[in-house]
């Protein structure tokens, strides 16, 4: 018998945390500089002992706020979230788009026109999962997905964002029977046997869905909306063909009706034909959308060890509505090489500053440096580059326990070795990031 192909393992590099001075972020430097300026102003007004104490407290407070995290974030990272929450307190509309119909190869495709002028379309992928596939097929599918997305990171490409989202929600067996009823098959002998099995064994089921969206910005690609739509749909066709060649089931583009239905499930409603809006009440700890509360997270750290293709499986085993999304930016090779060189230069400079100050690099800094070198080598070898961010959202209806669902979700993320950061004050950004619109990545 032939040897069984070993299971492939993958390593996700650490998030890029480039600093300006010795690894410090611009926000940290700005916060400390602000407090130092305030302290200098206090001393300029008065040099008495109370003024000296106040100045010292300002400087110490700035350093502590910039370095000591509170719930995973330092003060300079909390300020944007607080500002976003205050800015949106009086605003209910968080999404304003148009869904139009386009045609390619005789098929209708829904295209979203964003307020910024960007255009996006969505493919429905096979949602049956890869757990039951043989190892060779699983490896081939993963490599095919990587190659299809990496092909978008080329010079002159029109796609600037790619959004992958997987959602799971509980459905009752009545929904399965209603589907048979709509198809007119409920009275057949096979359907009767199927109904008895459903009623006896499957009182509740889980519906899973995987979507892949592509977006082109207003200032890239051909001139004119029809030409931009055609270029975007050609990219979508190329990605779908690459996935099929890699062993995936044929991906199906969503038409305008299906796309509007997908957004409608998340709370969007039509306002005059093809125009869709999404309104919500912004709260600091959650987002209120119609009769549901939405809590979102940002993936602050990916696993630091080798993982398999089933990395996100614990997050998709839920009896409530949960969505995992990864928003990616295909980076052109020339830009990717420049970023890699800048990151390497910054790292060398930071290491030299720490050495002169008498500090040694810890294990995480050493690993981050090794990842930068590996990424530069991969780019030189011709591999594509994708800048990415992960998001997670759960939706809870009124009669469910919000705190219990949040705790269960964070436990599932811990099982997947993900470090989550709850988007307190900025949940609308997290919700938009989990929609098939390629949003959320700055």
**pLDDT, tens digit (0-9, with 9 covering 90-100), for 387-430:** 888 999 999 887 678 888 889 999 999 888 898 999 888 888 89
What would the two tokens of residue 256 be? 């305008």
Contact 243, 56 (CB under 8 A): no
Residue 432 has pLDDT above 50, yes or no: yes
Q: pLDDT (tens digit, 9 = 90+) per residue, 157-202?
A: 899 999 999 988 766 555 555 655 555 555 566 656 655 655 555 5
Which of 77-91, 171-185, 300-314 is predicted with the least confidence, judged by mean pLDDT? 171-185
Residue 386 lies in a domain: yes
What would the two tokens of residue 348 be? 């060398």
Percent of the chain beyond pLDDT 70? 78
What is the model's pLDDT at position 32?
Answer: 84
Residue 56 lies in a domain: no
Residue 8 lies in a domain: no
CB < 8 Å & 24+ apart, contacts of 73-80: 73/421, 74/27, 74/28, 75/31, 76/25, 76/27, 76/28, 76/30, 76/31, 77/27, 79/27, 80/426
Percent of the chain beyond pLDDT 90? 21
What is the model's pLDDT at position 1?
Answer: 40
Q: CB count, 10 Å around CB of 52? A: 14
Q: CB count, 10 Å around CB of 92? A: 13
Average pLDDT over residues 208-237: 90
Phi, psi of 32 (to 5 degrees): -65, -40
CATH number of the CATH domain containing 346: 3.40.462
The residue with tokens 């930071």 is 350
The end-to-end CA distance of the chain, in Å, is 51
DSSP state of 370: H
Write the burial class of residue 131 (CB in 10 Å: 0-12 exposed, 13-18 middle, 19+ buried).
Answer: exposed
Residue 73 lies in a domain: no
Which of 116-130, 132-146, 220-234 is predicted with the least confidence, judged by mean pLDDT? 132-146
What is the model's pLDDT at position 236?
Answer: 94
What is the model's pLDDT at position 203?
Answer: 47
What is the model's pLDDT at position 175?
Answer: 55
Cα–Cα distances (Å) from 396 to 166, 205, 227, 286, 417, in that order, read 17, 17, 41, 10, 24
What is the model's pLDDT at position 147?
Answer: 85
The H or E element that residue 120 is part of is: strand 119-125
Average pLDDT over residues 121-127: 89
Least Cα distance to 101 among 259, 277, 264 occurs for 259
What is the model's pLDDT at position 349?
Answer: 72
What is the model's pLDDT at position 187?
Answer: 57
pLDDT classification of 2: cutoffs 50, 70, 90: very low
Residue 354 has pLDDT above 80, yes or no: no
Q: How many domains does the chain have?
A: 1
Residue 315 lies in a domain: yes
Residue 152 lies in a domain: yes
What is the model's pLDDT at position 424?
Answer: 87
Residue 58 lies in a domain: no
The residue with tokens 């030299």 is 352
Q: Which domain holds residue 333?
A: 85-170+207-433
Residue 102 has pLDDT above 70, yes or no: yes
Question: Helices 225-245 and 135-150 sit at what angle, rounded to 10 degrees?
Answer: 160
Residue 218 lies in a domain: yes
Mean of pLDDT over the chain: 80
Contact 94, 280 (CB under 8 A): yes
What is the model's pLDDT at position 281?
Answer: 84
Residue 34 has pLDDT above 80, yes or no: yes
Average pLDDT over residues 338-363: 71
259: left (phi over 0), alpha (psi -120 to 50) or beta: alpha
Average pLDDT over residues 116-120: 93
């Amino acid at each position: 018998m032939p040897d069984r192909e070993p299971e492939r393992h993958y390593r996700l590099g650490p998030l890029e945390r480039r600093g300006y001075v010795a690894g410090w972020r611009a926000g940290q430097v700005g916060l400390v500089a602000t407090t130092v300026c305030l302290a200098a102003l206090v001393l300029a007004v008065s040099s008495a002992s109370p003024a000296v104490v106040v100045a010292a407290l300002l400087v110490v407070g700035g350093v502590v706020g910039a370095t000591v995290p509170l719930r995973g974030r330092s003060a300079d990272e909390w300020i944007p979230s607080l500002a976003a929450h205050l800015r949106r307190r009086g605003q209910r509309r968080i999404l304003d788009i148009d869904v139009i119909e386009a045609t390619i190869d005789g098929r209708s495709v829904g295209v979203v026109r964003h307020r910024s002028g960007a255009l996006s379309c969505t493919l429905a992928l096979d949602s049956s999962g890869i757990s039951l596939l043989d190892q060779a097929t699983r490896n081939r599918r993963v490599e095919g997905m990587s190659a299809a997305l990496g092909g978008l990171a080329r010079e002159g490409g029109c796609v600037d964002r790619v959004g992958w989202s997987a959602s799971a929600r509980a459905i009752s067996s009545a929904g399965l029977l209603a589907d048979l009823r709509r198809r007119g098959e409920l009275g057949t002998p096979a359907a009767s046997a199927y109904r008895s099995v459903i009623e006896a064994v499957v009182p509740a089921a889980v519906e899973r869905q995987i979507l892949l969206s592509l977006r082109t910005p207003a200032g890239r690609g051909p001139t004119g909306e029809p030409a931009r739509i055609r270029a975007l749909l050609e990219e979508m066709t190329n990605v779908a063909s690459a996935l099929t060649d890699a062993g995936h089931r044929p991906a199906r583009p969503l038409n305008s009706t299906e796309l509007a239905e997908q957004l409608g499930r998340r709370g969007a409603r039509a306002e005059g034909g093809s125009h869709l809006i999404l309104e919500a009440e912004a709260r600091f700890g959650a987002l209120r959308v119609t009769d549901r509360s939405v809590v979102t997270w940002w993936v602050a750290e990916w696993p630091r060890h080798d993982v398999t293709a089933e990395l996100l499986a614990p997050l998709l085993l839920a009896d409530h509505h949960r969505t995992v999304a990864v928003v990616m930016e295909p980076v052109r090779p020339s830009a990717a090489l420049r970023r890699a060189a800048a990151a390497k230069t910054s790292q060398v400079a930071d290491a030299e500053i720490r050495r002169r100050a008498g500090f040694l690099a810890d294990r995480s800094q050493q690993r981050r440096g090794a990842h930068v070198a590996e990424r530069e080598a991969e780019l030189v070898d011709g591999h594509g580059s994708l800048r990415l961010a992960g998001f997670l959202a759960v939706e809870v209806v009124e009669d469910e326990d919000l705190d219990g669902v949040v705790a269960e979700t964070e436990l599932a993320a811990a099982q997947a070795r993900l470090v989550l950061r709850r988007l307190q004050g900025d949940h609308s950004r997290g919700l938009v990031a989990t929609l098939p619109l390629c949003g959320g990545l700055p």
